[in-house]
Amino acid sequence: MKIKLSAILIYLLISPSAWAQSSLSIQFDYAEKLFNEKQYFDSITEFKRLLFIDSDGQYSYRANLIIGKCYKEGAKFDDAIKYFSFAAKNSNAPEENFEARTQIIRTNILRRTTDRALQLCDELDTDPAFVDKKDEINYWRGWAYIFADDWKNASLVFGRIDPNHELKILAEKTEKAKVSVTFAKVISYILPGAGAIYCGNFLSGLMSAGWNLLAGYWTMNSFAENRAFDGIVVGELVWLRFYRGAIQNAEEFAVEKNLKISNQSLRYLQNEYKGIKP
């Protein structure tokens, strides 16, 4: 009889703890299932409920990490970083800490806070716990440069991982295809219309050069015929307008062309690149 009573007492003592653990596990599995089914709002709600009842913090790392991922999927980047930071603080191993911190970097890349992303990469780089993670850190550093439209530095960083890295070759190709905005403006100062031609807008460049030559001829001819007033009016209202317009157009054409080149590479990364993305 005493043995039975002892067994009952042990059961009563152990049972609540076992039930609590089972309840937490069920709650986690349910919340994770919602996440895998891309029901991100409902998943956040269930994970927050789990964190509320998980008094021992058994699921603090995993729950906060997935909540961050849910917010990231919904483009709520500030909230995502908040919960990834919670996950990093509650990590129990270097691998968990690295995962949470790289998620913060990836979110900063997406919201184009490049300086912060690069700063966080540098912090990971100098952390002795992650000396074997140089390639992965450089991978995300390269992506930060891509989103900042700095294809030259992106090429250099991916080259540290592998001289033949797919993203290194893409970044190098993109940088070479782009035109110099400064050069387009400078040659337009020297020869109006040349900047537009340099950017591939031949018709616009030729028309600009033609109008400038014609306006210049009218101005000089007016002064030659002692029609100073006509020369000033034509020079100020016509020639100067076309001259300034040629420089402005050259800059706009260069920026527009570079944007098209960058967007073409970004579309490739979005639709065809098979590697991990931010």
pLDDT confidence band for 5 (50 / 70 / 90): very low
Higher-confidence residue: 70 or 220? Answer: 70
The pLDDT of residue 154 is above 60: yes
For the chain, how many residues are written? 278
Residue 97 has pLDDT above 50, yes or no: yes
Which two tokens mark 42? 């409902």
| pLDDT for 132 beyond 50 | yes
Answer yes or no: is 7 within a domain.
no
pLDDT computed for residue 208 by the predictor: 61
By three-state DSSP, how is residue 275 classified? Answer: coil
Confidence of residue 255 (pLDDT cuts 50, 70, 90): confident
From CA 182, how far away is CA 173, in angstroms rounded? 20
pLDDT of residue 203: 62
| Domain count within the chain | 2
pLDDT, position 229:
45
Pick 160 or 8 by higher pLDDT: 160
Give the domain range for residue 219: 181-269
Q: Is residue 146 part of a domain?
A: yes
Among 136, 166, 196, which residue terminates a domain?
166
pLDDT number for residue 13: 44
The token pair at 104 is: 């913060």
pLDDT at 2 over 80: no
Please tell me the pTM assigned to this model: 0.79
pLDDT confidence band for 185 (50 / 70 / 90): confident
Which is more confident, 123 or 181?
123
CA nearest 105: which of 126, 86, 80?
Answer: 80
**pLDDT above 70: residue 254:** yes
207-218 exposure pattern, b = at least 16 Cβ within 10 A, e = fewer = ebbebbeebbeb
Considering the domain architecture, whether residues 24 and 109 belong to the same structural domain is answered as yes
Q: Hey, what are 75's tokens?
A: 């483009």
Segment 177-205 mean pLDDT: 70
The token pair at 272 is: 């065809």
Quick check: 191 pLDDT over 90?
no
Indicate the residue among 166, 189, 209 that finishes a domain.
166
Same domain, 160 and 196: no
Residues 36 and 87 in one domain: yes
Which of these ranges, 37-41, 54-58, 241-245, has the smallest mean pLDDT?
241-245
